[in-house]
Amino acid sequence: MPIPVVCPSCKARFTVSDQFAGRTGPCPKCKQSITIPTPAAQSVVIHEPERPTATSAGTGRAPTAPIKRRDKPIKWTALAWSAAGAVAFMGGAFALRLVYRNPSDIPDWLLVAGAFAAAIPSVWLGYAAVRNRELEPYRGRPLAVRVLICSLVYAGLWAVRGMIPAEQTAEMWQWFTIAPLFGAAGALAALATLDLDWGTGGIHFSFYVLFTSLLRVLAGLQPL
C-alpha cells in the first residue's frame, strides 16, 4: 500500500511503496534527507464526540445540547369564554330578527357594533386554531391587544363593504374583482397583529367572514 510522504523542507508531496517504511532517503525535489513514516505512525485515531451538555456549570463552555421547547396551548378557559361568546352572538342575531321584522330597520350603528363585537371571539378562536406552532403563542394582555386591533380591522372591512352600492355586488361574478381585495386586507391584518403568514392569515379572516355571514342570516339579512 503506498505511503503518502510530505517533505519537511520543501513541502513536496509524493508517495512511496510501503516496502520503504522506516528507511531514510533523499527528497526527489530538494534532495533533503527524509525518513519514510511507518503505517502505524500514520494511523488515525477517531475519538468519540463529546456528549452534548445542557448546562455550562463546571465546563466553562456554552451548552451544546439542543433546547427542547414544549408547545403550551392557549388556556382552555379563554377558549371556552370565546366559544360561549360566539354562541351568545348567534342568539343575539336571532333576537334581532324577532325585534326588527323588517331587516332594513336595523340601525347601522348596531350592525357596526355587532361586527366588531363578533370579531373578538372569532379572531381569538381563529388564532388558537391556525397559529404557528413553531412560535410561542401570545397570551394575556399582549394577545388581548392584538385581538382587539385585528377585530377593529375586520369590522372596518365590513363597514367598507356596506358602503359599496348594492348594484355592484348583485351578481356573483362581480365578487371576483372585489373579494380578493378584502381577503388580502384581512390576511395582512392577521399577519401584522398575530404573526400569521399570508395563507393562514387568509384562513383566519375567512373564519370571521363565515361567522358574521351566519349572524346576518340569523338576523334576516343578506349573508354578504
Q: What is the mean pLDDT of each successive set of 10 residues along the chain, which is 224 residues long?
A: 81 80 82 77 56 57 56 62 75 79 78 83 83 80 90 86 72 71 87 88 86 81 71
Is residue 55 a part of any domain in this protein?
A: no
Burial class (CB in 10 A: 0-12, 13-18, 19+), 205: buried
Q: Are residues 119 and 32 in the same domain?
A: no
- Examine the domain organization and report whether 210 and 144 are in the same domain: yes
Q: Are residues 181 and 117 in the same domain?
A: yes
Q: Is residue 24 part of a domain?
A: yes
Q: Are residues 30 and 119 in the same domain?
A: no
Assess whether 151 and 200 both reside in one domain: yes
Rounded to an integer, what distance in angstroms lies between the CA atom of residue 139 and that of residue 166?
Answer: 41
| Beta carbons within 8 Å of 133's beta carbon, 6+ residues apart | 71
Q: How many domains, the chain?
A: 2
At 100 the pLDDT is: 79
**Residue 32 shares a structural domain with residue 116:** no
- Structure confidence at residue 67 (pLDDT): 53
User: How high is the pLDDT of residue 148?
Assistant: 92
β-sheet bridge partners, residue 25: 34
Judgement on whether residues 14 and 108 belong to the same structural domain of the protein: no
The answer on 94 and 141 residing in a single domain is: yes
What pLDDT, on a 0 to 100 scale, did the predictor assign at position 3? 79
Q: Backbone phi, then psi, for 87, in 5-degree steps?
A: -65, -40
64 domain residue, yes or no: no
Residue 74's pLDDT is 56
Range of the domain at 102: 76-218
Query: Each residue of 148-166: b (16+ CB within 10 Å) or e?
Result: eebbbbbbbbbeebeeeee
- Indicate whether 223 belongs to any domain: no
Residues 102, 30 share a domain:
no
118 and 16 share a domain?
Answer: no
Cα separation of 104 and 219, whole Å? 11
Q: Does residue 28 belong to any structural domain of this protein?
A: yes
What does the block give as the cell for 191? 399577519
Asked if residue 47 is part of any domain, the answer here is no
Residue 46 resides in a domain: no
Both 118 and 22 in one domain: the answer is no
Could you tell me if residue 96 is inside a domain? yes
Instruction: For the full predicted model, state whether its pTM sits above 0.95.
Output: no
User: Does 120 lie in the same domain as 23?
Assistant: no
